[in-house]
Structure 1
Amino acid sequence: MRLIVSALAAGACLAGAVAPAIARTSAKAPDRFDGTWSVEVITESGSCDRAYRYGVIIENGQARYAGGGDFTVTGRVQPSGAVRATISRGDAAAQVVGRLGQGMGNGNWTTSGSTSCKGRWNAERRG
């Protein structure tokens, strides 16, 4: 479960974590949120670790963890900046919602499965 919470910086939201999310099928100009983001994940309730910070890469509205791992990520950043994603590993999953803006973003997350946790995330654009 700790790895699921870690991936939230994916996903954040963004989805993001770890495996590429579902790719867009149409070719278009880069999304305004494309780039590298640093995401801080904070646990507000439950037995998950207190805080994490991870890199997330967004490409064409799809987020992926900047590192490696064995997570499944589905979700995206909408052109409006709205973030909705699911990050899962085994029977554990985290639902991520929030919004990205100009150079920053934030939102909430909750887990399901054998460990129940919830909290918030904050993102800052790095490149």
Structure 2
Amino acid sequence: MTTAALAAALLAAAGPALAAKGSSKSPKRFDGTWSVEVITEKGSCDRAYRYGIVIENGQARYAGGSDFTVSGRVQGSGAVRAIISRGDAAARVVGRLAEGYGNGTWNTDGAGNCSGRWNAERRG
């Protein structure tokens, strides 16, 4: 998986946010600027990177552009589950966001067969 594909994994951390059915918490509470660090613990992917993510109206975007396909959500509870792809590379991301931070894990199949963890911090 390329560095760019890992950046996409960060989008999922804040991915297309939709409220969980029946949840009284709004995913819009996660709106803002986030700094996300991705750490590879297994495989041949780049060791670690930090990326900027912007969430507006519950929707997330990579601050550096939109070269990825992101399919996922942050529920009102903060639960994160998503798949991010670019070309033939894809990452599955799970975790949780809270009011000012978040964390979880990610993994890929195929060429790099990489896995690791991610940490997010609200910046604004």
Q: TM-score, normalised by structure 1?
A: 0.82
**Alignment partner of 1:32: what SS?**
helix
1:30-57 CA distance string (max 9 Å, x none): 7111111000000000000100100111
Q: Which runs of 5 or more residues in structure 1 are unaligned?
A: 16-20
* Residue number in structure 2 paired with 1:120: 117
Cα contact 2:53–2:62 (8 A) shared by 1: yes
Q: TM-score, normalised by structure 2?
A: 0.84
1:93 aligns with 2:94: no
RMSD: 2.1
Counterpart Cα distance in 2 of 1:105 and 1:46: 23
1:67 aligns with 2:68: no
Counterpart Cα distance in 1 of 2:66 and 2:30: 23
Runs of 4+ displaced beyond 4 Å: 21-24
Q: Which runs of 5 or more residues in structure 2 are unaligned?
A: 20-25
Taking only the aligned residue pairs, the percentage that are identical comes to: 69
Cα contact 1:83–1:99 (8 A) shared by 2: yes
Aligned residues: 117
